[in-house]
Amino acid sequence: MTDTLNLSHWINGEKVDADRPGESRNPSNTNEVVARTPKGGAAEVDAAVTAARAAFPAWSEASPEVRSDILDRASNILMERKDQVGRLLSREEGKTLAEGIGETARAARILKYFAGEALRIHGQNLMSTRPGVEIQTYRQAVGVFGLITPWNFPIAIPAWKMAPAIAFGNTVVIKPAGPTPATAEALIAILHEAGLPKGVVNMVIGDGDVGRAIVGHPDIDGISFTGSQTVGASVGKGAMERQARVQLEMGGKNPLIVLDDADLERAVAIALDGSFFATGQRCTASSRLIVQDGIHDRFVALLAEKVAGLKVGDALDPSTQMGPAVSESQMETSYSYIDVARSAGGRIATGGNRLNLDQPGWYVQPTLIADTTAAMRINTEEVFGPVASTIRVKDYEEALAIANGVEFGLSAGIATTSLKYARDFQRRARAGMVMVNLATAGVDYHVPFGGSKKSSYGAREQGFAAAEFFTQQKTAYSWS
């Protein structure tokens, strides 16, 4: 599939034609335009919110079985088309084809999971302190949600925000990320094919003007955002100024501690996975490798060998192990941080050079930087690319202090065969998710997702935790 797609907004169940001044390009071959895109603004957002508000009463009061059946059908359709949609994802975002298909299958499973959750909204019966009074608690839909999604998981994250929102009876206005609108549009189209009523899910394509219009719209009751800290802070401020509920996921600078007693081969494998798969463009990526002195040199040498052996190339080539960055700016960000680390005294163990492949693309050579210190910018700022750095430490306590010593706190990992250190790390790591002998990147869809410190704000995403954000509790008293 190499045809250029012509995308439209989805408002009130219909595609809305408009001029298409924008485009998304194939990062593996920048000569190829994947999609031509409209540029929405406040008017389109207002129309989408109006449609969502009109659809809310009937959708929220419908039998949960109706919502469950639609999500289940959409899941089945998406799973049947996972190869086709996954290929589109890889063309547009740059993930390898295996990663693109895998993410698409994950999105289908998220829809399937929340098809079940739609039937499991429950409350409690409680005894009152007053004789003859009964108390019940139950959950209700909130209203209209604005969803602002990133480009690095262009179908999984829209799925894990939209699925619980609509499963619990809410309606949605979604803004997909600028580099990857075609992948999000494929999901929207499948939901409508599955029988979603008009106005329940609306999509407006555009730039920051669309996001700002969503955040500031008085008829949007809640906002779920995934992206950078800088933008997230403005989203949170805008939502709270008008008392809208808000949920923010804002990245990480995730540590992987490797202790002397670790299984070296496994430690290297999980560092390779966590730092470089998906081109390092994961908020849970292992960007800080904190390695105890006794194993440090062997770990760096073996990991550098593995990183140097990664085949970088066209995302659709079955032999490619790492695809390109999503955009030219993302590519340049990675190279700029490599230069910053080199200037600060970091040693390039492997990589660090510009790549010139047979076709034009936004390729980054996977890079491992050794001999860095915890205070260097490479270890305090999110790079969001295939770049990892190592920090040498004397013992576990020093490693833990460095792991906890940044403003992020999304995911944290440790490689060790010590039950003592593993359990202590689970308790004391200041992160929302903790991994023992596993890559920091790689989470299940049926359990809570989120971080601590400046990585996250508000209720957790995914799994059973999603009900906290996408429903509101009501307490009912009755006398009989």
Helix axes 82-93, 64-80, angle to 10 degrees: 70
Contact 394, 388 (CB under 8 A): no
Task: Please give the single-letter amino acid code of residue 203.
Answer: M
Catalytic-labelled residue, pool 283, 328, 332, 461:
283
What distance in Å separates the CA atoms of residue 285 and residue 283, rounded to the nearest whole number?
6
| Cα end-to-end span (Å), the chain | 66
For 64, 138, 322, 325, 326, the CA distances from 362, given in Å and listed in that order, are: 45, 50, 12, 5, 7
Q: Of the candidates 46, 449, 474, which has an alpha carbon nearest to the alpha carbon of residue 247? A: 449
Q: Is 283 a catalytic residue?
A: yes
Contact 292, 325 (CB under 8 A): no
Q: Is 61 a catalytic residue?
A: no
Q: Which residues of 94-132 are buried (b: 16+ CB within 10 A; e: fewer)?
A: bbbbebbbbbbbbbbbbbbbbbebbeebeeeeeeeeeee
Contact 463, 445 (CB under 8 A): yes
Q: Is 269 exposed, middle or buried (0-12, 13-18, 19+ CB in 10 A)?
A: middle
Catalytic-labelled residue, pool 92, 99, 249, 461:
249
Contact 71, 108 (CB under 8 A): no
Contact 15, 9 (CB under 8 A): yes
Active site residues: 249, 283
